[in-house]
Structure 1
Amino acid sequence: MTTHPEKPARPGAIDGRTSEFTLFFKVKPGHGKLLRDIFQQRSFDQLSRQVTEQIGTLHDARWVLFDEDTRLMFATSFDGDWDVYIEEFARRIPQIFDDILTHAEDYPGINAPVIKEYIVAHQVTACSYFRAIPDATVRDLRKARAVYKAYDKLVEEYS
């Protein structure tokens, strides 16, 4: 008889088909301004939007520097499995995380064998988490938007 190891429990609250993901890091002393400079680059928002499309399960993402730029928060919500989500980041956009989190204490690198343990150590589950439409995935929302646009175009043609 073959036994399969149980999947490790992962932090994060779930509502419907979507999970929240909130990480807190200590910023290396003197690195707050370097991080602000990264976030204020015009290309950062464009790249973030491209990344969201590449990942395909990411609803939103935000980075927040606080406590006089000594702490950094990364918060998102996503569809699906925690491990797959982390693997997608490592596979599709490793440079973004390395560029930002190299300024966080003890960051091992997105492709380090211990990256999931590092993330779990910095993740805090939300006390409360809800979505307006909890069963709608990013894919569902994109399909609904495409149907709406097609319908709107049809209505305009026959108006």
Structure 2
Amino acid sequence: MEIRPQAVAIPKETDHLEQGKYGPIFPKTPACYGFTIIARVKPGRAEAIRAHGRTLAGALAGNPHLLAPLKLHYLRWVLFDDDTRFMYQGIFDTDFDKYTEDAVALFSRAGVDTTFENLEGFPEDWRTNPEAFVRFVRAHHCPSFIEYGEYPYVTADEIKKALRVKSALSEMLDQMQ
């Protein structure tokens, strides 16, 4: 089976998209699902965002499966414009509604803060009010207009399975030598 890279241009208008619980459901693309938000950082909170990144990295070192319920492929945080703005970019396997609900539940259950608390306008009641969390994300979402996948529509679980098969095959071939 040949896997061919693909790209999809995403229309600016969302009126035609299926409506989910929290608004339009953007289509799955060759890069799966995802979103990018850009928001203003509360004055003086950039270092707290960096510290939160280090905390998250440490938590993942202790429990590599901590974020597994989110079905993430990639997560990227960027501070820019002299640390006055923050970009959050995530690529994942579920639609926006499920990802958001899973993220709120995961962080609430774990008693973990979100770095979004350092952003202007982020709701203080986000743990008990997923709708407010979603409104913030939707208000700051910058939809992409093209997405590309070198291995299109492949889930994180499929990638991990393929890597396990590759590792097992390599180990078997090494033992045969």
Superposed pair shares fold, TM > 0.5:
yes
Q: Deviation of residue 20 (structure 1)?
A: 2.6
Structure 1 residues 6 and 19: CA distance shift in structure 2, 3 A: closer
- Structure 1: runs of 5 or more not aligned: none
2:59 equivalent among 40, 47, 53: 47
Equivalent in the alignment of 2:49: 35
Equivalent in the alignment of 2:34: 20
Letter in 1 for 2:119: A
TM-score (norm 2): 0.74
* CA deviation vs aligned residue, 1:105-137 (integer Å, no higher than 9, x gap): 111124423221211111111132211111210
Q: Does 1:88 align with 2:102?
A: yes
Could you list the runs of 4 or more consecutive aligned residues of structure 1 that deviate by over 4 angstroms after TM superposition?
none
SS in 1 for 2:88: strand
Equivalent in the alignment of 1:156: 174
Q: Does 1:142 align with 2:149?
A: no
Aligned residues of 1:17 and 1:80 also touching (Cα < 8 A): no
* CA deviation vs aligned residue, 1:22-75 (integer Å, no higher than 9, x gap): 011111112122222333x3x4314355433342x2100011011111100100
- Structure 2: runs of 5 or more not aligned: 1-17
Equivalent in the alignment of 2:9: none
1:118 equivalent among 100, 112, 136: 136
Letter in 2 for 1:142: K
Aligned residue runs from structure 1 range 58-73, under 5 A: 58-73=72-87
Q: Deviation of residue 80 (structure 1)?
A: 2.4
Give aligned pairs, total. 150
Structure 1 residues 46 and 33: CA distance shift in structure 2, 3 A: closer
Alignment partners' CA distance in 2, 1:120 and 1:16: 22
In percent, how many aligned pairs have the same letter? 24
Aligned residues of 2:49 and 2:118 also touching (Cα < 8 A): yes
Letter in 1 for 2:121: D
Structure 1 residues 110 and 60: CA distance shift in structure 2, 3 A: farther
Alignment partners' CA distance in 2, 1:65 and 1:17: 23
Alignment partners' CA distance in 2, 1:14 and 1:6: 14
Letter in 1 for 2:40: K
Provide the aligned C-alpha RMSD in A: 2.2
Alignment partners' CA distance in 1, 2:46 and 2:173: 51
TM-score (norm 1): 0.82
